Amino acid sequence: MASCKDNDKIKEPDVIIPTQTLLMYMPWSSNLTSFFKINIADMKDAIADDVLENERVIVFLATSPTKASLFELIYVAKDGTCEEKVLKEYENNPYTTAEGITTILNDMKTFAPATTYSMTISGHGMGWLPVQDKTSTTYIQASTTHTTAPVYHWETESDYQTRHFGGTTTNYQTDITTLAKAIENAGITMEYILFDACYMSCIEAAYDLRHATRHLIASTCEIMGYGMPFHPMAEHLLGDINYEGISQAFYDFYINYSMPCGTLAMTITSELDSLATLMHEINTRYTWDNQQTSSLQYLDGYSPHLFYDYGDYVSHLCTDTLLLTRFNEQLQRAVPPASCKHTPTFYSAYNNRQKSIQSFCGLTISAPSTHHLATPKNQTNWYKATH
């Protein structure tokens, strides 16, 4: 007969901690909300295809300037579907502040703890550029050659809509340094951050995020309003993450899109300090000749241009063959060519045009830009580290 002694302990069932939680972060972005819902539907289709193993997908979606919800996408095995489970509702959450974003990240950790975390961020984007108050006297004073407010690519009338980081107005936009601080405050280092927003694959932004994420996946150019094709990308984003597969799925989708334009690259952020050291050496020896700017590969539709191919810029700046070789080798360690994809042309809603891509390293830089919006470039962490 079996007996139970006082010192016998009933073994608790093992608690399986998910290996990965993916947060799809979709703050209020006004005219992109309908596209966000398509992106969520695409991810649900992927989950319905049974793509999840030991991962969880959480969505933060703002449906108005004041209301948002956090919900999980859950696979329903009995009928092979995906359903949404609401975890929390938000009202007037200050998600453009470090504190507000940290609150959301902490909620994610509470509802879906995991050994690793990753994040997709949807919205409009302007690379490293700080949030601009287009009506303030501070903005007017900072713009020595322009006294009128700038027009951004999302404000133009164009045949195709493309997708700061955030909404169409400054009160719904977030600085990259704010995002980095929010992630740090949450005690997380993301496995990757995927920006589903324009112009976010720039060296200045990547450098700001080097302690917040191990990998940065983003576009050097404008991304079409449809955004990331999450259905074919999901199998590479979850579980055994395949960065080359992510970029390839993006390329395969957009090379066959109605406007066949798209660029995507993955940056290994741990390689950026070494890249900054080499860039400091180059900047110590060479000064940019503005007459060369017109021959550079630009990757935007602005005038003057804001974003130039980083590798092309350095190849014009540095004339020491050995030093340039060292730079290019380190650049390829930071941005592996296999995870760097682009269509033959890029599209800009700013001037409603396609432009040819001849040089492409996967990152842009604003160092040679004379655009008034680029005035704060000397205040970036990247500039300070490389000069």
Ranges of each domain in the chain: 20-270, 273-334+364-386
* pLDDT, average across residues 139-161: 39
pLDDT of residue 94: 79
User: Class assignment of domain 20-270?
Assistant: alpha beta
pLDDT of residue 168: 54
DSSP strand pairing (340-342 vs 345-348): unpaired
pTM higher than 0.75 for the full model? yes
Condensed to tens digits (0 to 9), the pLDDT of residues 65-110 reads 889 999 999 999 999 999 999 999 999 877 788 999 999 999 999 9
Question: Which residue in 283, 293, 29 sits closest to 166, CA to CA?
Answer: 29
Q: Pick the residue with more confidence: 187 or 172?
A: 187
Number of helices followed by number of strands (H, E) in the chain: 11, 15
Rounded to the nearest 5 degrees, what angle is found at the Cα of 110, between the Cα atoms of 228 and 9? 130
Which residue has tokens 């009995």? 78
Where residue 331 falls among pLDDT bands split at 50, 70, 90?
very high
Phi, psi of 58 (to 5 degrees): -115, 140
Distance CA 358, CA 355 (A): 10
Structure tokens at 366: 């604003």
CB 205 within 8 A of CB 176: yes
Distance CA 248, CA 153 (A): 26
Distance CA 246, CA 21 (A): 17
